[in-house]
């Protein structure tokens, strides 16, 4: 299935109106089966489905690492990914209660996850980053996606070091985009500690949860955070940078990781 579809629209401009072609992102329903139990259906973009499934399961705390996985099989035509773990564990009831997750909403039992991570998974990292590093990464990030330029209907996420993008994914859902990056890192055994996550969407509490589970110390967004997102970033020791536009940005938490011009060499 293609990531976007070409449609005929009626376009109105200052110069007139008439038929025109437009690219619209594709929406896809993916069902994840976990240890022979249909777990959840995600509404997503129809790409990197294995990565999305594994990233979602990791974000839910059902898969900790690649070593947990016995088998991962994707059937893109049927919209299914089967995941089996070596221990055959059952899914948490909280996930089962939310069988269909829309592209724009959070996923899983986040309130419980927030409580758990608040006490047990504070991110410890000596990583620092300069404002120029942040501006440079966001500039790369905004130019990275051909699909975004074609449709303007997609979210993106990227794992980076201080100078370049390491893993990048697009999706119609901002949560799915992060899960695809996380899934790729887990399946390919790409380290996430002392890295930076750059995202396109609003930074709410569940986004911090996904980042904290991977021990990522810096989260950067071109959009804004929620108040609970900022509180959680402080509690979890994550540097949260938002509203990065041109040469402006807001540092909402963890300011000590952002090097000032005077300290750069």
Q: What is the CATH number of domain 131-263?
A: 3.40.140.10
Q: What is the pLDDT of residues 38-79, one digit of tens each?
A: 888 999 999 999 999 999 999 888 999 999 999 999 998 899
pLDDT in tens, 8-23: 988 888 888 899 999 8
Instruction: Quick: pLDDT tens for 121-151.
Output: 899 999 999 999 999 999 999 989 888 888 8
Q: Is 44 a catalytic residue?
A: no
Cα atoms found within 13 Å of the Cα of residue 14, Cβ hemisphere only = 0
Tens of pLDDT, residues 247-258: 999 999 999 999
The fold of the 28-106 domain, in CATH, is: Ubiquitin-like (UB roll) (3.10.20)
Q: Cα(122)–Cα(96) distance, rounded to whole angstroms?
A: 27
**CB 3, CB 45: distance < 8 Å:** yes
Q: How far is CA 58 from CA 24, 34, 69, 198, in A?
A: 30, 12, 11, 19
* CB-based contact 29:75 (threshold 8 Å): no
Q: Tokens 């829309």 — which residue? A: 102
Running DSSP on this structure, what letter comes out for residue 55?
H
Tokens of 265: 């060499």
At 51, list the tokens.
Answer: 């990565």
User: Which residue out of 44, 105, 160, 185 is catalytically annotated?
Assistant: 105
Domain ranges of the chain: 28-106, 131-263
Q: Is the pLDDT of residue 95 over 70?
A: no
What was the pLDDT predicted at 71? 95
Residue 143 CB-density burial (10 A; 0-12 exposed, 13-18 middle, 19+ buried): exposed
Percentage of the chain beyond pLDDT 70 is: 87
Rounded to a whole number, what is the distance in angstroms from the first to the last CA of the chain?
49
Q: What is the pLDDT of residue 101?
A: 62
pLDDT at 89: 83
DSSP-based three-state secondary structure for 89: coil
Rounded CA separation 152/98 (Å): 29
| CB burial readout 10-35, b (16+ within 10 A) else e | eeeeeeeeeeeeebebbbbebbbbbb
Q: With H, G, I as helix, E, B as strand and everything else as coil, classify residue 116.
A: helix
The answer to whether residue 242 scores a pLDDT higher than 70 is yes
Tokens of 56: 């979602």
- Copy the structure tokens of residue 187: 């399946």
Alpha helix ranges (H) inside 71-196:
93-96, 110-120, 131-142, 146-151, 174-188
pLDDT of residue 109: 42
Q: Quote the CA–CA distance of 207 and 210 in Å, as a whole number.
A: 5
- Sign of the alpha-carbon dihedral angle for 159, 157, 220, 149: positive
What is the structure's pLDDT at 107? Answer: 46
pLDDT for position 215: 94
Distance CA 49, CA 29 (A): 10
pLDDT tens, residue by residue, 149-199: 888 889 999 999 989 999 999 999 999 999 999 999 999 999 999 999 999
Q: How far apart are CA 51 and CA 231, in angstroms?
A: 29
Global pTM reads: 0.88
Residue 104 has pLDDT above 70, yes or no: no
Describe the crossing of helices 205-213 and 174-188 by its angle, rounded to 10 degrees. Answer: 0
pLDDT for the residue 139: 94
């Amino acid at each position: 299935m293609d990531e976007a579809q070409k449609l005929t629209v009626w376009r109105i401009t200052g110069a007139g109106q008439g038929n025109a072609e437009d690219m619209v992102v594709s929406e896809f329903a993916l069902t994840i089966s976990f240890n022979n139990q249909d777990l959840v259906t995600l509404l997503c973009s129809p790409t990197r489905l294995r990565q999305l499934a594994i990233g979602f399961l990791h974000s839910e705390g059902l898969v900790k690492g690649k070593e947990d996985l016995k088998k991962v099989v994707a059937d893109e035509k049927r919209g299914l990914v089967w995941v089996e773990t070596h221990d055959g564990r059952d899914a948490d009831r909280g996930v089962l209660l939310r069988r269909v997750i829309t592209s724009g909403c959070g996923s899983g039992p986040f309130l419980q996850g927030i409580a758990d991570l608040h006490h047990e998974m504070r991110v410890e990292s000596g990583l620092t980053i300069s404002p120029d590093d942040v501006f440079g990464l966001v500039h790369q990030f905004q130019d990275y996606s051909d699909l975004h330029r074609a449709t303007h209907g997609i979210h993106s996420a990227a794992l980076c070091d201080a100078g370049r993008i390491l893993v990048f994914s697009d999706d119609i859902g901002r949560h799915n985009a992060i899960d695809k990056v996380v899934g790729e890192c887990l399946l390919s055994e790409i380290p996430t500690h002392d890295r930076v996550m750059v995202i396109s969407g609003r930074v709410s509490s569940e986004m911090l949860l996904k980042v904290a589970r991977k021990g990522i110390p810096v989260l950067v967004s071109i959009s804004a955070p929620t108040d609970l997102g900022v509180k959680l970033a402080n509690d979890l020791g994550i540097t949260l940078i938002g509203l990065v536009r041109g040469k402006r940005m807001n540092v909402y938490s963890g300011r000590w990781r952002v090097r000032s011009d005077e300290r750069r060499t």
